[in-house]
Amino acid sequence: THYAHHYHQGRIGIGAQMVGLAQGCLDITLPYVHERRQFGAPIASFQAVQHQLAQLAVDVEAARLLVYNAARMKENGLPFVKHAAMAKLFASQVAQRTAARCVELHGGVGFTKDYAIERFYRDSIIGSIYEGTSNMQLTTIAKLMSDELATS
């Protein structure tokens, strides 16, 4: 139906929003970890912090590519519903994980309204809810996988 098409298309948009949110978290956290000092050194110099940031960057890029691929498929008239659900699901998970980790990297001030990361964290939660909850995305993906098997 017309509604269902726009609903599924909306998942790509939400995925893109969540990628932007996650990227925004990294963009404001990276300078902060170079400024924040513990034990006489910027926390960005600690390997554990470096590894956390590197993993978040990998996750954000993977989410971005899932969103781009779903959009490419839709633009080219290919079946895209499963890919849109995957992109929305993964991007919302990445946004929540990235926001939470970036709040932690900001320390106690990460929860204050003085720092934008607090808002990013609150905004990240909605990504797993609107345009279909994460469980709805999983159900859609599983159903379409079974449908593909049945038609192969």
Would residue 131 show up in a list of annotated catalytic residues for this protein? Answer: yes
Q: Which residues of 105-117 are buried (b: 16+ CB within 10 A; e: fewer)?
A: bbeeebeeeebeb
φ, ψ for residue 133 (rounded to 5)?
Answer: -65, 165
Residue (of 65, 33, 32, 68) closest to 49 by Cα position: 33
User: Which of the following is catalytic: 61, 104, 131, 148?
Assistant: 131
Annotated active-site positions, please?
131
